[in-house]
Structure 1
């Protein structure tokens, strides 16, 4: 009986590993993980996109300091004591990564609920306008005819970015124990967070396109790899202390650049599904 259980456990583990291998392979082929990097360079070269960030920088830094300081003071040593047993000498580094991860999750949830929602929305829409996708933005907000990409943004008619999510917080702490598995567990934890993050990066784009919940779910299901790749890269960037707010905005720019390329059928996944997208557009119309 014990041997049978071991065999079943090994079989399940192999299936899960194969699934993640396929997922990562799709992510690599799509090159979606490059969009957060593209977002950095595009953001740096378009000064008008700095305005939403500048308006939120001071209050965000105050929030970040109020979270990361207590997190290290109260949680680093207790978690280090546990991590030493599973990670040995690497525990010092893996515990720092763990606390940064925890702090980033708390700050991300609070900031996007309390501070950054409108600023990130403006950044996403402003990037689409800068990429000459004004007609898409106009379906979700008023657009002025003069000024730069941000100045053209009028009143938002729809706001898709979600506020505080209890499920997101529960899911985070549910998978947190993975970090007690040396190296591999931490990597798996980041990928899982990246996959969850990836599922929300195009909420605004789907809304502007008028996609139904079922259409959105179908699209995300078919392109798990690319969205996991983007979400994982974005998650890693936002784990950088203090600079995480900047990367929140550059990741938003990257997501908008990706949306613009999808709209222009200029990605690997849309080249293969262009007829499908046209059919979806007809259904919306």
Structure 2
């Protein structure tokens, strides 16, 4: 059983309570804030401008010289495996399409590769930008380092975690690369539905990864992180699914990878306020 929910006494508290109950809303909050707040958006654009230009030029060159080759390989693959994949040149699971599916599949494949090239050129600057927008978002709420308090268990009977290492591994950088760029690459280029299937498998890892700064700020141990995520696993799955879908969009996914960090910071802020409330209810000192 979890701790009692807070009783909102103002419109802002009511909104925070709604967002806590529906974490995908934080993804939209992140997009909105990065789009409308110049203090967040302008430094990100300046930091990533040169890397983006280099990356997009290399990516477009790669697409120009390899698109025809990849389209031919995909055509060959579809002709040999249409019964397994449900794809053919002009149909999707037997339903006729008004265009050649090999062209669309090749576009998805090349788009994913261009995204990878952009990420390569921007990885360092985007990492810096993500940390900056996290810090700025928390500061915009009037909070500093002292806002983060030691972990407080909110459930009377927390779930038992037998293998916390696997959950933590999935949220790590190396695991995210292996899962996103290697294991799920064939799924991602599957027309229309591939991006959603891929996001489903990445959801929990993406959600917990986006909250790594939160866990570090609170000084949480690995078992505490594992329990915290397990208690909110469907919230993390929902948030991570929406975040992963946006991040996997070709080219503009870079923008969403930054906005997702803003949304994650807003969620962390509201989660921490709840931690403070539970600590007071339990008579614990917030040192």
The normalised TM-score by structure 2 is: 0.63
Structure 1 position 133 matched with structure 2 position 143: yes
Q: Which one of 93, 114, 123 corresponds to residue 104 of structure 2?
A: 93
| d(CA) in 2 for partners of 1:278, 1:78 | 65
2:35: which partner in 1? 44
1:67-116 Cα distance to aligned partner (Å, 9 max, x none): 4642574364156323563323353434433443454355446633x322
Matching residue within 228, 235, 249 for 2:258: 249
2:205 aligns to what? 196
Q: CA deviation at 1:202?
A: 0.6
Which residue of 53, 57, 78 corresponds with 2:49? 57
Structure 2 residue runs of 5 or longer lacking an equivalent are 1-18, 93-100, 150-171
Deviation at 1:192, TM superposition (A): 1.4
Q: For residues 138 and 214 of structure 1, do their structure 2 counterparts lie closer, same or farther at Cα, with a shift above 3 Å needed?
A: closer
Q: Which of 221, 225, 228 is residue 234 of structure 2 equivalent to?
A: 225
Select 1:77's aligned residue among 71, 74, 77.
Answer: 71
Contact 2:26 2:267 in 1 (8 A): yes
Higher helix share: 1
Change (3 A) 1:212 1:33: same
Q: Which residue is 1:121 aligned to?
A: 131
Task: Report if aligned partners of 1:83, 1:95 keep a CA contact under 8 Å in 2.
Answer: no
- Relative to the length of structure 1, the TM-score reads 0.64
Does the residue aligned with 1:116 lie in a helix, a strand or coil?
helix
In structure 2, the CA distance between the partners of 1:99 and 1:258, relative to structure 1 (3 Å rule), is: farther
* Distance verdict in 2 for CA 1:102–1:42, change over 3 Å: same
Q: Distance in 2 between matches of 1:98 and 1:48?
A: 35
Q: 1:184 to 1:45 in 2, by over 3 A?
A: closer
Shift of 1:120: 1.2
* Aligned counterpart for 1:175 among listed residues 145, 160, 184: 184
Give the aligned CA root-mean-square deviation in angstroms: 3.7
Alpha carbons of structure 1 residues 202 and 260: separation in structure 2 relative to 1, 3 Å = same
* Helix, strand or coil at the partner of 2:210: coil
Helix, strand or coil: the match of 1:50? helix
Structure 1 residue ranges, 4+ long, deviating more than 4 angstroms after superposition: 136-139, 179-186, 276-279
Query: In the alignment, which residue of structure 2 is the partner of 1:8?
Result: none
CA drift of 1:184 comes to 5.3
Unaligned runs of 5+ in 1: 1-27, 140-163
Partner of 1:264: helix, strand, or coil? Answer: helix
